Structure formats: structure tokens, C-alpha cells
Structure 1
Amino acid sequence: MALIREKRLPQLQLSLPVPPRAAGQRPNPMFAPVPAPTPKKASTPTALSSQFRLSDFDKLAVLGRGSGGTVYKVRHRETCALYALKVQHYGDPAAAAEAEILSRTASPFVVRCHSVLPAAGSGDVAMLLELVDGGSLDSIKSRQGAFPEAALAEVAAQALSGLAYLHARRIVHLDIKPANVLASTAGEVKIADFGIAKVLSRAGDQCTSYVGTTAYMSPERFDPEAHGGHYDPYAADVWSLGVTILELFMGRYPLLAAGQKPSWAALMCAVCFGEAPALSDGVASPELEGFVAACLHKDYRKRASVADLLAHPFVARRDVSVSKCALQKLVADVSSECRST
């Protein structure tokens, strides 16, 4: 489904398809092509200092491209360690804000930023990020379809742990969706893409930013006038997670009918006035139905908190070994398919 975004601040999409290079187009001069080195025995990424330069890395592939910049898969020449390099172009202020937020975080449930590498003379900002080998949940869904409940419970648990970490530090993401949550073949789930995230002055602060992906916005973000022009950003993150979990379970965007065009008007009617789709008897467990319902209360004051959801039976009573294995299998199947194509 094509996502509708507000035009005034387009964000980099990690899962965008990569268009072919036009005939005669010059390669990116930021990376010097060199022969691939023989991998060393130890290839575990190590912390990098600010002394590293873009020229220390070889570009291997484009992972995603958007109007704001490009994400590359890169290899450090000396150690052969692999990373994701997110280059935001043209001095976009969102790039500096994202780098600042990521510099505050150190959680296994949030994508790690190893270093910020300035691109001399260009105004670009390059963030050297950990490479999450399974890609985004959106790319996994596009290849595998709907997620099994066991894998979904693990996604919910780890994404909630990431949100709990961020919210405890007054960081709100404001753009949780399948494209911005990554998974690894080890069964790890990590929140990524902090391009529109905010750091609040105080824990109870309201928010007035309405930039984001409209399909995942909560009702109070879609209709600010009905809520005094501000909203609880923590509750907004919970709504977005609920839509994300429901989408992964259904295998398609859940708040519109299958095949319906996601126009602004259609999305506003669905988000602000429509009901969440009823899941057929036996299709979903009562625990999953209850979890999604707790996330998708129209009234944000009745919406479950992250702490409530971490204690919800869908998450708290899951068999951790079974759910993690189910997620690992799902990601591994996608990785295997990608290597064979």
C-alpha cells in the first residue's frame, strides 16, 4: 500500500525500492571503489571514534533511498565489519536532530548509532548505524505475508521494551510503523528512523507536531482541533504500534478495506470515526484481540500505556523460546529468499 505522508517534511524510507541508475549517471563520489578484502576472522562491529572518515568504508549496496537521503550497506576496510550508513542530504535539520537523539540511546531494542561522520564540504550528515540483517518488518511482510501469532508476540514484546526505554528518557518516536521497525536473523527487534522523533522537556509534556505517516497517526493527531491542538505523544506511539501489530497479523494495512485507495479523506474517516476490523472467530486468539483493542482506543485517555501492554497476557504470558524461534524462522526464510534471487 502506498503510504500517505505530509508533504512539508518528507522522511527517508528504509524500505523504498531502489530505482536503477540512469545511463551515464556518475557514481557517488563519497566512496572510493576498491577490491573486496579477504574477511578477517573477527568481524564483530566495534565502537568507532569520531576520527573515522567516510573514505574508510566501502559501499556494498543501497538499502533504501528517499528524498531526504540514502541508506547504504557499507564495510569498514580495516576490520571488514558491516554497517548501515544513513546519509541525510543538503543540511536537513532533521538529520542533526536524529543524530542527537540516537547519541542519547543505548538499548538492545533501538538501532545503535556507532558514529556521526561529517561529509566535508557537502553539508551532508552521515550516521554509521548497526546493520540489522533481516531488514524492516514491512519488507518481511511483503515477502512472507501475515505474521504468525507467536512471532508477532515477540515483535510486540521487544518493540514495547524499546518504547519503554525511549519514553523513560522523554523521547517519543511519532512514526512507529512496519517500515521503521527492524528484525534480525537472531530474533532481535529494533526501533529505527528517528527523523521526526522529539525529546520532551518534561515527562508529562503534550506535543503539537503533526508531521508523520498519516496511516499510522492516532485520532488526536489526525484531528487536532478536537483535542485542543495538542496530544499525549506517548499514547500516540501506542496507537501506532497497535496499527503495526494488526497490519502484520492481517498481512495488509488494516484500517481500510482491501484494495481501498489510502487517500487523506479515507484515512481520516477510518482513523477518527471507523472501527478496527473485527477478526473472525478463531482467526486470532483472545489475547491478541485484547492487545490490539487496548492499543486502539479512540480516546487516548483510555488507551493502554506501554507498561500496561508489557503486562498484557499476549506479551507477558507468551512462551519466549517458542515466539523467538518463530520470529527467527520468519526472518531467516526471508533472508534465504533474498540470497537466492
Structure 2
Amino acid sequence: MVVFRERRQLNLKRLSLPEPTDCRPRFPLPLPPTTTTTNIMSATVTIDRLADLEKVQVLGHGNGGTVYKVCNKRTSAVYALKVIKSDCDNIVRRQIFREMEILRRTDSPYVVKCHGIFEKPSGDIAIALEYMDAGTLDTVLNINGTFSEMLISNIARQVLNGLNYLHSHKIVHRDIKPSNLLVNQKMEVKIADFGVSKIMCRTLDPCDSYVGTCAYMSPERFDPDTYGANYNGYAGDIWSLGLTLLELFMGHFPFSPPGQKVDWATLMCAICFGDTPSLPENASPEFTDFINCCLQKDSIKRWTVLQLLSHPFVSGDPKS
């Protein structure tokens, strides 16, 4: 006998974004020292004093702080210096402490390097990072236009190697997108911005909270009951990577028409209930299959980092 189950109705109210007060930490945040400027990195720090760094130009603003291009007056080495003001709100401060913790743990050619973390007497926090002279993939896309499959294959390989390193150290990034992938003139790509990342204690720790950029969230992050049963917490990074690579190829965010921004509710419905974005007809079969392996709505069916590293699109020779 065949039993038909009534389709579950999604409670849209349950999918609303949490109130800012719900995101506040339930524990007091550590306060920086108030007497001296302190370098709190490990023994691998290459910058001894914040005073050695001279500001060259502003690279960007956001998330409670400013990023500067700086030069070491003694060695002439160039870095990116992220400065977070002491009067930023608790959410931003919690994110910067999380990023500091992860940066201390990572050492990979595919992850942006940290050369020093300093806390000023004023309470400001300064993080000296590896300088990538071409900016982000988002910047390159806006300046140069769409990427060829050959370039995307190279980018995919590097990001997958970075994710393989992070995942093997039980770190989930949770905000993979073009603006969080740094690039230099040699087209070396490095994962950056760990403000919403998570260090997993167990493989199946939940990662379905509303952190990161909504546009690149996987379906199970919006609706874990439907798409997240027994899912691996690292699968969300793969979905975000698939959308990122598709955006580089198409020239715009895959779930919205070119030049158009959609509201959160429309975006959520498109990700959870709409069809998976399809590639243009000029895409190769290898690239099309690779994207399909990343954008499986059922997180269990989504390919892992190691599986994707062996995919022909990454390991073969895609068309230029």
C-alpha cells in the first residue's frame, strides 16, 4: 500500500532574520589592555612594532573598521592593516576576536597570512595581513569583466585547496564569496575574512545560524528541517563556492538578473524553492557538471572538497 504524505508547509515567519539583540553574546567579551600596545601573535610574527608600519592609502571601509595599505619603514615590506575601532558594537567585536583566533591557527598558501595582531591602549585592534595587490575577485570582476573557464578552473583549484586545509583543521568559513577571496597580479587566490567562521568541535556541529552573507547561504542554512537532516557542516562552503564561480562566469549574482538586487524574502524563496541556476549554453560539460556537484540542494548529495579536487574541471584542462 502506498502512503502519501501531505507536503509540509513552510512557516515563513520562522525563516525571518533574527533580531540584532538575539545575536549578542551571552558572555562578556575580553577587553584589550589599557596601558600598553601589545603584540598578541605567536612566535611566528614578522612585525615587532605597530609603530614600524606607515600608512600608504586606504583600501576599504566596513564592519566597524578600515583597511589600509601600509609599509614597514624598516624592511619596506607591504601589508594590509585592518584597524577595528574600540567603539564598535559587540557583534563586530565578537567577530574580530573570532577572526583573530582563527588567524593564529592557520598557515596555508591558500589562506591569507597574518603577520601580527596588536591591541592599542585606546582599545583599537590592528591586524597586519598579507597584502594582495589585485584586491578581491569581486574587484577584478568589476574591472575586467567575466572570467574564462580556464581562469575559473585555476581559481576553483586554489579555493578548494584552501577549504581542504580549513576543513581538515575543523574550520568552517561560512562566508565564501568573491569579495572574501583575495587575489594578486599572479592570480594567486587566498581565502580571507574569518569574522563569521566557526571552529567545529564535532563533524556534525550545527552551522545553520544566520551568519555570513545571505545571498551565498545554502538552502539548509535557511531551512534546516527540509535540507539539513544529517548534513555535514562543511557543505555550506561548497554551495557558496559554486555560486561564487558561477558569478565569475556570468558576470552577476546567479539568483538575480544583471544589475538588479533582490530583497531578502525573494532571495530566500529563490534559493529554497526555485530552480538551481543554470549555466549559459557556451559552458563546457565539465564546468556544468562541476557547478551541479556544488549546487545540490540536498547537502548530503553535495560533493566534498576532496571529491571536487578530483573532478575533471579542476584536475583536467577546461577550455579557455
In structure 2, the partner of 1:252 is 252
CA contact (8 A) 1:110 1:191 kept: yes
Q: Provide the TM-score with structure 2 as the length reference.
A: 0.81
Identity rate, percent: 51
Question: Residues 173-199 of structure 1: CA distance to partner in whole angstroms, max 9, x if unpaired?
Answer: 000000000111122110000011110
Distance in 1 separating the partners of 2:192 and 2:164: 15
Out of 49, 61, 65, which is 1:53 matched to?
49
Paired amino acid for 2:53: F
CA contact (8 A) 1:115 1:129 kept: yes
Does 2:89 correspond to 1:93? no
Does 2:184 correspond to 1:184? yes
Distance in 2 separating the partners of 1:221 and 1:101: 22
Matched residue count: 277
Distance in 1 separating the partners of 2:184 and 2:18: 30
In structure 2, the partner of 1:68 is 64
Aligned in 2, Cα 1:258/1:95: closer, same or farther, shift over 3 Å? same
CA contact (8 A) 2:137 2:181 kept: yes
Which secondary structure state, in structure 2, belongs to the residue aligned with residue 71 of structure 1? strand
CA contact (8 A) 2:227 2:298 kept: no
Shift of 1:6: 7.9
Which secondary structure state, in structure 1, belongs to the residue aligned with residue 275 of structure 2? coil
RMSD: 2.2
Shift of 1:225: 4.6
Q: Provide the TM-score with structure 1 as the length reference.
A: 0.76
In structure 2, the partner of 1:305 is 304
CA contact (8 A) 1:218 1:271 kept: yes
In structure 2, the partner of 1:168 is 168
Shift of 1:227: 5.2
Paired amino acid for 1:76: N
Aligned in 2, Cα 1:144/1:6: closer, same or farther, shift over 3 Å? farther
In structure 1, the partner of 2:112 is 111
Which secondary structure state, in structure 2, belongs to the residue aligned with residue 103 of structure 1? helix
Shift of 1:228: 6.9
Aligned in 2, Cα 1:273/1:173: closer, same or farther, shift over 3 Å? same
Shift of 1:49: 4.8
Shift of 1:260: 3.5
Shift of 1:140: 0.3
Does 2:189 correspond to 1:193? no
In structure 2, the partner of 1:80 is 76
In structure 1, the partner of 2:287 is 288
Mapping of 1:1-341 within 5 angstroms?
A: 8=20, 48-49=45-46, 52-90=48-86, 92-120=93-121, 122-226=122-226, 232-281=232-281, 283-318=282-317
Q: Which has the higher contact order (CA 8 A, sep 6+)?
A: 1
Aligned in 2, Cα 1:229/1:123: closer, same or farther, shift over 3 Å? farther
4+ residue stretches of structure 1 with deviation over 6 A?
none
Distance in 1 separating the partners of 2:260 and 2:45: 47
Question: Residues 246-297 of structure 1: CA distance to partner in whole angstroms, max 9, x if unpaired?
Answer: 000001111122343320011111111111333333x100011001010001
CA contact (8 A) 1:54 1:119 kept: no
Distance in 2 separating the partners of 1:246 and 1:266: 20
Question: Residues 104-134 of structure 1: CA distance to partner in whole angstroms, max 9, x if unpaired?
Answer: 11100000001111112x2222111110111
Distance in 1 separating the partners of 2:247 and 2:78: 31
Which secondary structure state, in structure 1, belongs to the residue aligned with residue 66 of structure 2? strand
